[in-house]
Chains A and B, each alone.
Chain A
């Protein structure tokens, strides 16, 4: 009994220390974000804003006219990616799960290749392609690849989910003269909310947090996204790390918020992908 208690205390202590180590960087970032700018004489003279210290630093950073644009661009791109992913993946997953057609498993296997592709191994031809399509500095230039690179995984999740739905449901509707399109829209979709939540959350996180393609294809300031913002701020605020950190914390809030609101779908998504994957 004593030994049991001791091991419990030790386990608890270890958990506490691990969490402390994981939380420390965030604490450091926050602590720095509310510090005063040191030697505030020269930056102000050069037109660089100065952090007055405390939460007022956030007011300085919020006054930066670029900030809303980063959020708007990321929102537009994530929204477009989510929409495009849903349109692409739902009918395809339905077809692979519930319909019979020639070459089905072959095409499915081909799509699945994209799951293992590192984006970096596609950047050169993608860059040439996006350039030829005149989609550099156009949100569609990143939305397209985001959909393409994400959908095989989502198709896997959705197909597994659709496989569990009884086929009789569909056959009954088909005998009543329902087209496949209506079956999908009126019977399957309302039953698929959990799987759809997973798709929405993951395609949001993937597109919102992506850096490489955004960095390469969105050259102009006006299209820069949340992940590109630090590059700008680290030069704009010079060595005013307090303001850089205040900005980064603001930039980080939306994805963390969305993640924690939809956290249980994250777990379910991983389970769904991992079990049959």
Chain B
């Protein structure tokens, strides 16, 4: 993924772009799975409870 492999590596550009696409799709799928697991574990609720109260530490008085 770094620039050195992108420049003059002699790889087929079509193959490279296919690899990028696969990586992107895999990461998006991983993001979806993580969000789903997080919701099941109740993390969204924990976050919400914190976000609807004034965070005294965040504003500098806690």
Question: Do chains A and B interact in one complex?
Answer: no
Query: Which of A's residues lie within 8 Å of B, judged by CB?
Result: none
Query: Which of B's residues lie within 8 Å of A, judged by CB?
Result: none
